[in-house]
Copies of this chain bind each other. A is one copy, B any other.
């Protein structure tokens, strides 16, 4: 494949074939436990022979699984990137909306790929999944304009990201209730509440929270939450 004599349309076809096999594998991993997926199943689902699957993925099931995890990780990581303008809770809602749309569109695969992989999970796939969490944390801290988070703020952001993941999986288990926009709004409120609760005992987080609140607009989710809480609890 590395020969320069291979014409362009052939290279495209190789890529498309690879994508087709990977899509078949992702679909299978999404609907069965990894131990119940074989290279034969992937070949059958893609309508090709078993040797052809091995030609593209010499490492067989393990390699297909890792490629599937990596593909999902890259797609999810790409979705966090939103412009650094507007009220922080609006930016968070935009990034989170894109993330949750992936969860909704790729429901079975999301669950399968993020649940650890059982027999095909390795320290490499664990590291890929952990890389998504780290990238998400970096994005959140970037929008909060924090270059060097202290341990409390760092833990708070990672904790919220873990909640987003756990809630996404529970949401899939519960037949996607509540509706997506409501889920997204609640997770943004969850972030705001957690930021304030952490601010109560961590000076760095208090400074960051005050700066972030200063950027909220009258119609942003953060302002709406604080208004509603004042209404409810005085």
Interface residues of A (CB under 8 A from B): 33, 115-116, 118-119, 121-123, 151-152, 155, 158-160, 162-163, 165-167, 170-171, 174, 177-178, 182, 185-186, 189-190, 192-194, 196-201, 206, 209-210, 213, 225, 228-229, 232-233
Q: How far is the CB of A202 from chain B (nearest CB, A)?
A: 8
Interchain CB contact under 8 A, A190 and B159 = yes
Number of copies of this kind of chain in the complex: 2
Interchain CB contact under 8 A, A198 and B170 = no
Partner of A199 from B122, B167, B170, B232 at Cβ < 8 Å: B232
In the assembled complex, the Cα of A213 lies from the Cα of B234 at a distance in Å of 12
In the assembled complex, the Cα of A80 lies from the Cα of B188 at a distance in Å of 29
Contact partners of A166 in chain B: CB under 8 A: 158-159, 162-163, 166
In the assembled complex, the Cα of A209 lies from the Cα of B206 at a distance in Å of 24
In the assembled complex, the Cα of A5 lies from the Cα of B63 at a distance in Å of 56
Interchain CB contact under 8 A, A177 and B151 = yes
Given A119-B119, A200-B232: 20 more A-B contacts, CB < 8 Å: A115-B116, A116-B118, A118-B121, A155-B178, A158-B166, A158-B170, A162-B163, A162-B170, A189-B201, A193-B193, A194-B194, A197-B229, A199-B232, A199-B233, A200-B228, A200-B229, A206-B232, A209-B232, A210-B232, A210-B233
Which residue of B has the minimal Cβ distance to A122?
B118
Interchain CB contact under 8 A, B197 and A170 = no
* 3 closest A-B pairs by CB: A162-B166, A193-B197, A193-B193
Contact partners of A170 in chain B: CB under 8 A: 155, 158-159, 162
Q: How far is the CB of A198 from chain B (nearest CB, A)?
A: 7
Contact partners of A185 in chain B: CB under 8 A: 201
In the assembled complex, the Cα of A190 lies from the Cα of B152 at a distance in Å of 12
A233-B196 in contact given A121-B118, A162-B162, A170-B159 (Cβ < 8 Å): yes
A190-B197 in contact given A118-B118, A210-B233, A233-B210 (Cβ < 8 Å): yes
Contact partners of A171 in chain B: CB under 8 A: 155
Which residue of B has the minimal Cβ distance to A187?
B159
Interchain CB contact under 8 A, B152 and A186 = yes
A116-B123 in contact given A163-B162, A190-B197 (Cβ < 8 Å): no
Q: How far is the CB of A178 from chain B (nearest CB, A)?
A: 6
